[in-house]
Amino acid sequence: MDIARTPSTPDGNPEMADAAHEVTSPVEIRREDYRPFGWLVPQVSLDFALGVERTEVVATLEVERNPAAEPTHVLHLNGDGLVPLSVKVDGEEVNSWTMDGDDLVITLPGDRHRVEVATRIDPSANTQLMGLYASNGMLCTQCEAEGFRRIAFFPDRPDVLSTYRVRMSGDKAMFPVLLSNGNCTAQGEGAGGTHWAEWHDPWPKPAYLFALVAGDLVVRKDSFMTCSGREVELGIYVRAGDEDRTGHAMESLKASMKWDEEVFGREYDLDLFNIVAVSDFNMGAMENKGLNVFNTRYVLADPETATDGDFDGVEGVIAHEYFHNWSGNRVTCRDWFQLSLKEGFTVLRDQLFSQDMGSAPVKRIEDVRVLRGVQFPEDSGPLAHPIRPDAYREISNFYTSTVYNKGAEVIRMMRVMAGPEAFRKGCDLYFERHDGEAATCEDFIKAIEDGAGLDLTQFRLWYSQAGTPRVTVRVEHQGDTATLHLSQVVPPTPGQPDKQPVPIPLKVALFDRETATHQGEHLLVLDKAQDSFSFRGYARPPVLSINRGFTAPVSIDSQVTADDLVFLAAQDDDPFARYEAMQELVVTHLKDAVAGTLSAEAREAGGRAIAKALGAVLADPALDDLMRGELLILPSQAYLAEQMLVADPGAIHAERQELRAALAQALESEFVALHQGASAVPYSLSAEARGARKVKTQALIYLAEGNPQLAAEMAAAQYRAADNMTDRQGALMVLAGLDSPERTHALLDFYNRYKANPLVIDKWFSLQAGSLHPHALDHVKALAQHPQFTLKNPNRVRALYMAFAVNPAAFHAADGEGYRMIADLILELDPLNPQTAARFVPPLGRWKRIEPGRAGLMRAELERIAGADRLSRDTHEQVARSLG
Ligand code: TRP
Ligand code: ZN
C-alpha cells in the first residue's frame, strides 16, 4: 500500500495539514538501518506566543555537520501536520527548501548554520494529546516518542542532543504559570495583559524530553537537600482545589530522591524539580527534564478518594519518572529500538524502590502477577516481540509490557546472577561511561559485564528472542542423592520460528518433608536445552521449591503433586514460593476441571486440598494480613487462559467461580471472622491497617460467591461504615456484581458523593464495566451514554472500556456483542486519539488462542476494523499484526 500525502505549501492552512496524520503509513522502520544523523544541533531556542487556539512557534537551531556521519548538505527535519510559515538560514529568508511528506528538507551550503523556522499550531484542536495541547484551559506538551515534530520542525530522534532555551509569552490571566525544563532565567510583563518567561536547561537532551506548561495552577512547594549539600526546590502544580491531595506525591518524590542516592549513588542535577498534574493524558506520566508531566491519577491521593492501591501507584510512578533523570535523561536511547534500555531499567529501579518502601515479598508478588497476567499473554500472542524489537511501524505501539516489565525482569536476572553489590558496580560503570550520551542496550550489557564481572554472551539472547521460556523439571531420588532434570523450550513467535536456549537463573531449595527444613538455597543456571543437577544428603525424596522469588521470567512445569503443593503453601520459608504453591494448586485443579478430565471424586478431592491450604492461610498467625491477602487471590482469568493452548473463556470463568463458591462455603465462618477482625482495625497507612483492608475485601469477594445474601449485607455495612476509599470501593465492587437492592442504592450514593471528582467517577465507571453482574454488557452500553462519559478523556475511556475488555465474563459474551462493542469503540476513537484507540486491539487479537466460535467472532471484528476507510498508523499496525 502506498501513501499520497499532499505536500503543504508555505502559506497552506495548518488545520488542513493536520488531517494528513490519519493516512496509513506503510513504512517499516528497522533497527539494522540505523545511521547517525548528518547534523549536530548543539543549541535550540524556542519562542512561543501562546494561545489555546493559536500558538506561534519560532524554532532556531544551531546546526553543524556531524563528523561521525556521512557528509551531506541536506538537513531533513521531521514535522507532523506543520506548515513552515518562514524559513531562514543565517538570518535570511530562503527558498532552498522542499517538503517530503510532512517533513521539511533544507539544503545548506556550508558546515555550520543557524536555521530558523516559524510555525503555527492550534492546541485546542489537538485531540491526539501528542505535541502541544489544551487540557482544562491549560496548555501542556507530550513529546515522547515523536510528538515534538507536532510543535516544530526538528530532527525528532533521541540521538540528537541539544541544550534548550525557551521563551514563552501569553495572557497573564489565562496562564499565570509558565514552566519549561531547567531553570527559569528571566520573566516579565508584556503589552496587553501578557507576561513572559525564559527557561534554560543546561543539560543536553533529545527533543522527546522537552516540555512546556502554561496555565492557572497552584503549587505545593518543598525542598530537598542532596547528598552533596545542594538544595533543590520541589514543586507540584495542580488545579486549584487539588493542592490538599498532593502530600503523598511530595513525600514519594523526596523518598525517591534519597533512595536513588543511597541505593544507586545518583544525585539530582538541577536546582529545580517540578511536577505538573494533567487530567487529559495518554499514559501514566512523562519524565521531561526537570519538569515531569503526570496523569492526575498518579499525583492526587488522599484517604477519602484514593485506595491503598492508588497510593502505591502514585509512589511507584513518581519514583519511576524521577529515576528516569539518570536512566533515560542523563543517559538516553540511541534510537527507539533501545526503549527497554531506559524503560526496563527504570521499571526495575522503581520496583526495587517500592520493595524497600513497603513489604518486599508482597511487591514482588504484585509485579509477577502483572507480568503473568499481561506480559505472558502478549509474549504468546500475535503481538509478541523481543524486549529490543527489530522493526516497527508506529513506535507508540511498542510501549508494551514486554519492553517495560519483561525488560525489568531481564535486568533483574543480571542482578540475581551478579549479586546486588557487583550489579551496582556494573550500573556505576554504565552511568560513568555513557553520561551525556545516547546509548544502546548493548552498551548496558557491556557495562554490566565489565563492571559486575559477568559473561553475558549467551544472555544477550534475552534481548533478541521473544516468547516465554518453558522449563520442565523432574526430581529423581536415589540413595542419598536428589537429581533435578531440567529442560527448556523457547516457543516460536511471529517471525521467529526457531529459538536457542537462554540462560535461566533459578533459585531452588529442597525441603525435607518430615522436618520442613532445607539445606540452603542454590542458584542454578540452566543454559542448555537439558541439564541435570545433583544434590547429596537426602535420605528421603525431597519436596522441590523452584524459581523462588521468581528469579526468572519463565513458566515452570514441575509436576509437583497436590500434597507437595499443600506442603509448600503452608511451609515454604520463601514467601513468593508459598504464594506460588498456592497458585499452582489452583491452576492445576482448574486446568483439569476445564479440560473435563476430572471425575466427580477427583474434583471433590482437589477442592478439599485447596480448601485445606486456604484454611491454613486463614489460620496462620505468623502471616501478616498483606501477605495473607495475596495468598487469598485466585489466579486471574488471563493467567488461567494462558495455561491452555486454546481457551474457552466461558468454561474457565464458570469453573473459577464454582471453585470460589465451594471454598467460600467450606470456609464461611472463617471468612466472616476474618472480615470482622479486620473491620475493627482503624484507618491508617500502616502495613497492619492496609493488610486489614485487603483481607476484608478479599473475604467479601469469596462470600459473594458462597453466600450472596450474606455478602450483600456485609458489603452494604462495609460501604456505610467506610471512612476511606479502599473500604468503600471494595464494598462497592462486591455489590456491583450482585443482583441486590443494595447494589442500586450504593452505586447511586457513590455517584452523588463524588460526581465532582473525575478520578473517583472513573472508579464508578470501572466497577460497573468490570463487574461479574449478568447484565454488565448492557450497563456498559448505558454508561457510554452517561453525561459524564466522553471519548476525549483517555482516563474516562479506559475506565469504561478497558475495564470491560478485561471483564472475564461480559467481554466474552458468546454472541460476540462484547467484541463488537470494542471494535466500535476503536473505530470511533481512532480519528480522535489513535494512540489510545490502538491499545484496545490486543484484547481482540487473542483470537487464535480462543475456542473456535468466539475466535471467528473476534477475527470478524478485526477484519471490520481493517476494512475501515482511514485508519491511523497505530491502529493499522496492531490490527494487521493481529490478523497475520
Ligand atoms: N516515558 C514515559 C514513562 O514510561 C512513557 C510515556 C508517557 C509515553 N507518555 C507517553 C510513551 C506518550 C508514549 C507516548 O514514564
Ligand atoms: Zn518510563
Kindly give the distance from the C-alpha atom of residue 872 to the centroid of ligand 1, in angstroms, as a whole number.
Answer: 19
86-94: average pLDDT? 98
pLDDT digit string (tens) for 286-299?
999 999 999 999 99
- 838 CB under 6 A from ligand 1? no
Closest CA to 540 of 522, 558, 567: 567
79-96: average pLDDT? 98
- 380 CB under 6 A from ligand 1? no
pLDDT digit string (tens) for 438-491?
999 999 999 999 999 999 999 999 999 999 999 999 999 999 999 999 999 999
How far apart, in Å, are the Cα atoms of 762 and each of 308, 755, 767, 783? Answer: 16, 10, 9, 11
Kindly give the distance from the C-alpha atom of residue 746 to the centroid of ligand 1, in angstroms, as a whole number.
Answer: 36
For residue 22, pLDDT over 60 is answered with no
List beta partners, residue 199: 166, 184
Which band of pLDDT confidence, cut at 50, 70 and 90, is reported for residue 20?
A: very low
Residue 305 CB partners (closer than 8 Å, separation 6+): 245, 725, 754, 757, 759, 760
Convert 7-46 into a string of H (helix), E (strand) and C (coil).
Answer: CCCCCCCHHHHHHHHHCCCCCCEEHHHCCCCCEEEEEEEE
522-546: average pLDDT? 97
- 396 CB under 6 A from ligand 1? yes
Kindly give the distance from the C-alpha atom of residue 534 to the centroid of ligand 2, in angstroms, as a whole number.
Answer: 42
Q: What angle do CA 369, 874, 879 make, to 5 degrees?
A: 75
For residue 116, pLDDT over 60 is answered with yes
DSSP of 748-789: HHHHHHHTT-HHHHHHHHHHHHT---TTHHHHHHHHTTSTT-
Closest CA to 23 of 834, 794, 825: 834
Ligand 1 binding pocket mutation candidate from 150, 205, 282, 873 (most atoms within 8 A of CB): 282
The Cα 754–Cα 297 span in angstroms is 15
Of the listed ligands, the closest to the CA of 794 is 1
Closest CA to 488 of 526, 532, 457: 526
Of the listed ligands, the closest to the CA of 408 is 2
Kindly give the distance from the C-alpha atom of residue 319 to the centroid of ligand 2, in angstroms, as a whole number.
Answer: 10
Closest CA to 611 of 573, 676, 551, 659: 659
Query: Quick one: which atom of ligand 1 is closest to the CA of 281?
Result: 9
How far apart, in Å, are the Cα atoms of 474 and each of 256, 267, 272, 292, 381? Answer: 43, 48, 57, 50, 28
Of the listed ligands, the closest to the CA of 345 is 2
Kindly give the distance from the C-alpha atom of residue 286 to the centroid of ligand 1, in angstroms, as a whole number.
Answer: 5
Q: Which residue type sits at 353? A: F
Closest CA to 223 of 210, 214, 232: 232
The Cα 35–Cα 33 span in angstroms is 6
74 φ/ψ angles, rounded to the nearest 5 degrees: -100, 130
Of the listed ligands, the closest to the CA of 283 is 1
Residue 689 CB partners (closer than 8 Å, separation 6+): 681, 682, 683
- Residue 5: the pLDDT is 30
Percentage of the chain exceeding pLDDT 90: 97
Kindly give the distance from the C-alpha atom of residue 554 to the centroid of ligand 1, in angstroms, as a whole number.
Answer: 27
- 287 CB under 6 A from ligand 1? yes
Residue 296 CB partners (closer than 8 Å, separation 6+): 238, 242, 277, 278, 279, 281, 758, 759, 795
Catalytic residue among 146, 198, 315, 321: 321
| Cβ atoms of 199 and 182 closer than 8 Å | yes
On whether the pTM is more than 0.95, the answer is: yes
Q: What angle do CA 326, 332, 338 make, to 5 degrees?
A: 125
CA dihedral 137, 141, 145, 151 (to 10 degrees): 110
Of the listed ligands, the closest to the CA of 346 is 2
- Residue 16: the pLDDT is 37
List beta partners, residue 58: 47, 118
Cell of 300: 492526587
Ligand 1 binding pocket mutation candidate from 205, 275, 283 (most atoms within 8 A of CB): 283
| Cβ atoms of 553 and 379 closer than 8 Å | no
Among protein residues, the one with the nearest Cα to ligand 1's atom 1 is 286
Please tell me whether residue 675 adopts helix, strand or coil conformation.
helix
- 286 CB under 6 A from ligand 1? yes
Sign of CA pseudo-dihedral 732, 736, 737, 742 = positive
The Cα 278–Cα 317 span in angstroms is 14
Cell of 275: 511536577
The average confidence (pLDDT) of the chain is 96
- 333 CB under 6 A from ligand 1? no
Out of 64-73, 639-648, 855-864, which region has the weakest mean confidence (pLDDT)?
A: 639-648
- Residue 299: the pLDDT is 99
pLDDT digit string (tens) for 190-213?
999 999 999 999 999 999 999 999
Clarify whether 70 is annotated catalytic. no
- 142 CB under 6 A from ligand 1? yes
Query: Quick one: which atom of ligand 1 is closest to the CA of 320?
Result: 15
Closest CA to 207 of 268, 123, 116, 145: 145
Of the listed ligands, the closest to the CA of 294 is 1
Closest CA to 385 of 464, 292, 267, 284: 464
Residue 299 CB partners (closer than 8 Å, separation 6+): 236, 238, 245, 246, 249, 275, 277, 314, 318
pLDDT digit string (tens) for 217-244?
999 999 999 999 999 999 999 999 999 9
For residue 17, pLDDT over 90 is answered with no
- Residue 651: the pLDDT is 96
Ligand 1 binding pocket mutation candidate from 80, 156, 286 (most atoms within 8 A of CB): 286
The Cα 775–Cα 781 span in angstroms is 10
| Cβ atoms of 113 and 136 closer than 8 Å | no
For residue 10, pLDDT over 70 is answered with no
Kindly give the distance from the C-alpha atom of residue 352 to the centroid of ligand 2, in angstroms, as a whole number.
Answer: 15
Query: Quick one: which atom of ligand 1 is closest to the CA of 321?
Result: 15
Percentage of the chain exceeding pLDDT 70: 97
Strand pairing of 39-49 and 55-65? Answer: antiparallel
Kindly give the distance from the C-alpha atom of residue 854 to the centroid of ligand 2, in angstroms, as a whole number.
Answer: 35
Domains of the chain by start residue, with CATH: 1-127+149-214 (2.60.40.1730), 332-464 (1.10.390.10), 474-883 (1.25.50.10)
Kindly give the distance from the C-alpha atom of residue 338 to the centroid of ligand 2, in angstroms, as a whole number.
Answer: 13
Ligand 1 binding pocket mutation candidate from 209, 276, 327, 399 (most atoms within 8 A of CB): 399
Length of the chain: 884
For residue 6, pLDDT over 80 is answered with no
Kindly give the distance from the C-alpha atom of residue 587 to the centroid of ligand 2, in angstroms, as a whole number.
Answer: 32
For residue 553, pLDDT over 90 is answered with yes
| Cβ atoms of 379 and 467 closer than 8 Å | yes
Beta sheet of 183-189, edge-to-edge order: 92-93, 86-89, 112-121, 55-65, 39-49, 162-171, 194-205, 183-189
Which band of pLDDT confidence, cut at 50, 70 and 90, is reported for residue 26?
A: low
pLDDT digit string (tens) for 580-593?
999 999 999 999 99
For residue 774, pLDDT over 60 is answered with yes
Q: State the number of CA atoms in the 13 A half-sphere of 232 facing the CB.
A: 20
Among protein residues, the one with the nearest Cα to ligand 1's atom 5 is 286
- 285 CB under 6 A from ligand 1? yes
What DSSP character marks residue 705?
H
Q: What angle do CA 466, 471, 473 make, to 5 degrees?
A: 175
- 586 CB under 6 A from ligand 1? no
Helices (H), 680-738: 687-706, 708-721, 725-736
pLDDT digit string (tens) for 620-667?
999 999 999 999 999 999 999 999 989 999 999 999 999 999 999 999
Closest CA to 62 of 149, 208, 160: 160
Query: Quick one: which atom of ligand 1 is closest to the CA of 404?
Result: 4
Ligand 1 binding pocket mutation candidate from 80, 129, 142 (most atoms within 8 A of CB): 142
